[in-house]
Amino acid sequence: MKSPAPDIAGIDTMNTSPYSRENVRRGVTHYLLGRGMSAAAGFVTVILLVRHMEMPAYAGYTAILGFCGLAGMLAGLGLERALVRFIPEGVMHHPGPLLARFIWIACAARLAVMVLLIGALWLSWPVLAGRVAGLALAPDFPLALAFVLLSSATFQLFSAVMQALVQQKILTRVLVVQWGGRLLLILALLAGHAGITLEQALWLMALPDGIGALILAWAIHRYMASQGSGTIAAPGNATPWPPWAQVRKLARDNYGYNLLAALPQNTSMIILAAVFLTAPFVAVYGFYIHLLERFKQYLPLQFMLNLAEPVLIAGFVRDGDFGRLSHHSRLLYKCNLLLLMPGLAWIAAIAQPLTHVLTAGKYTEHAWILPLLILQLALGGHATIMQIMINAVGKSGILTISGCLALAAMALAIGVALASGQYAWLVAAPLAYELVNNLVAVGLLGKHGWHYDLQWGFHGKLLLATLGAWLGAMFASAQVASPLGQVLLAGVVALALFGLGATLLRLADPREFQTVRDMLKRKQGPAGAFAGGTDSPAGGKP
């Protein structure tokens, strides 16, 4: 039996490691608080914007945010994954100037690329304004858009750095101030005007992100300045750090994967819809996407991803135990599904009345899009844990292969939709991408000797419980006339029936939830702080 590890990742080289039990326990509390409050404020923000912006303006706002997301992905260069992978290593063995230089070089590279992209977008704006739904309201390139692009890209990267350092307290405060300030600005605008214009909506995005990015930059500088200037390296290790060849390979593979995955992303699909479909369709599609972006922050995998990922990687760097890594990753995804699938059953039954309630009757058509987006979210969550595991074992080239094959499948689906003239079904094409991407990644990982169990039996039982909850919610909603009553009654019935089905089919073991809780609360099991108890499979690569 192994002796208990001194911290969650088994790191004993630094007494003040950010991955220690106490620090990460505090980090969990701050992280959950910040995520919860910011997601709640973000949800209210989405509802207020869709209710108080004219339909063409909201369609333009949706399309512009799509361009912002695409630009952020292009400027990312795969650096966020590289930072998450190498910052824990730098903290453990190379604190001080080496780590600081690595972080600031990555940040400078991303900002430089974003400036180039802003210039390209400015040059192409006249063409885009005449072709994309909703952009006719902004015939000239909006200055606010340049600020949105710079501030959001910077804030996102600095947030990744803070999360990799497990410095959640300051990040929590910034998230709350960011989304709370945005909400207060919206309320101030509504107090003095009848509605919100497209330009005002863009500034509402840019200003809080810019202020938040400045605060995070200062916090990162202060943290780096507080670290010692020495190098804590393993005996005999004279290799320069960071290992730029490994950093470039990891960033390149993940960047290639992100480029291949750009088409099925919500941001790209919004742009595609804005080119081929009308402003009302784009507006409601964008509303659903923005709504789910806020909702998914409450799902366990997305809620705790940026906190759990560096800890999972740090544990694997220490002991190379792939069985443990895959076990904990799969548990996070399982918790995700057990919350997401009853939601899918509920929303599939009452998507139209729910949309009516949230938008005050403004949007009622195309409600069938919402269940498709939830199903895509479920499959995308599994792709996320696959990416974490693939990066951890150093086989990031798998991502490129799986992405290429998945992109081919999606291109075929898009071709069928365009050839048939059923443009609205373009929004279903990402499902083909996610399905092929997951299956290929699992297969290739197994061929390299890292075997991952897809647990088909669990997924079959899960679908059966979801189907029962959906049928019950459909029946319940038909018994009530008012939209709000339909939403509430169907929700209660779907939750009750799914819970009953989950219990009868034994979808969850309480020990699994305890394992996730222990993993994030830093309680040590018999095999160390990062163990999964008796359920955790032993061993690494076969």
Comparing CA positions, the residue from 496, 501, 490 lying closest to residue 460 is 501
DSSP state of 7: B
Cis peptide before 242 (omega within 30 of 0): yes
Q: Which residues of 141-160 are buried (b: 16+ CB within 10 A; e: fewer)?
A: bbebbbbbbbbbbbbbbbbb
Instruction: Compute CA 130 distance to the chain's CA centroid, rounded to the nearest angstrom.
Output: 32
Rounded CA separation 4/262 (Å): 43
The token duo for 29 is 């509390």
The length of the chain in residues reads: 542
Over the Cα atoms of the chain, what is R_g?
23
18-33, pLDDT tens digit by residue?
544 555 555 555 555 6
Tokens of 31: 């992280």
Tell me the C-alpha distance between 209 and 214, whole Å: 9
- Main-chain dihedrals φ then ψ at residue 401, nearest 5 degrees: -65, -50
> What whole-number distance in Å separates Cα of residue 145 and Cα of residue 206?
8
Q: Judge whether 491 and 484 are in contact, CB under 8 Å.
A: no
- Cα–Cα distance, 259 to 417 (Å, whole number): 22
Q: Tokens 């001194």 belong to which residue?
A: 6
Structure tokens at 525: 């099991």
The backbone torsions φ and ψ at residue 265, rounded to the nearest 5 degrees and listed phi first, read -70, 150
Q: Which residues of the chain have pLDDT under 70?
A: 1-38, 91-95, 166-168, 227-239, 261, 297-298, 300-308, 310-311, 510-542
End-to-end CA distance of the chain: 21
* Cα distances (Å, whole numbers) of residue 229 to 94, 101, 515: 8, 12, 37
The two structure tokens encoding residue 222:
């202060």
CA pair distance 67, 234, nearest whole angstrom? 45
Residue with tokens 């951890």: 392
At residue 79's C-alpha, the angle toward residues 317 and 388, to 5°, is: 40
What are the distances in angstroms from CA 321 to CA 195, 267, 326, 531? 56, 36, 9, 10
Task: In whole angstroms, give the CA distance from residue 233 to residue 61.
Answer: 50
Nearest alpha-carbon partner for 266 in 366, 384, 376, 168: 376
Burial grade of 524 (CB within 10 A; 0-12, 13-18, 19 or more): middle
3-state secondary structure of 20: strand
DSSP-derived 3-state class of residue 448? coil
- Cα–Cα distance, 184 to 181 (Å, whole number): 5
Q: What are phi and psi of 154, to 5 degrees?
A: -70, -45
Phi, psi dihedral angles at 273 (to 5 degrees): -65, -40
Q: Report whether 260 contacts 398 (CB < 8 A).
A: no
Cβ neighbours, 10 Å, residue 15: 8
CB 470, CB 349: distance < 8 Å: yes
Residue tagged 């595609």 (tokens):
272
Q: What is the C-alpha to C-alpha distance for residues 182 and 203, in angstroms, rounded to an integer?
A: 10
| Residue 527 burial (C-beta neighbours within 10 Å; 0-12, 13-18, 19+) | buried
DSSP 192: H
Residues 6+ apart with CB under 8 A from 36: 298
- Give the CA count within 13 Å in the CB-facing half-sphere of 188: 9
Residues 20 and 115: their CA atoms lie apart, in Å, by 38
pLDDT tens string 360-372: 878 878 888 888 8
Cβ-based neighbours of 268, under 8 Å, separated by 6 or more: 66, 69, 70, 262
Tell which residue, 151, 156, 253, 166, has the closest CA to residue 204: 151
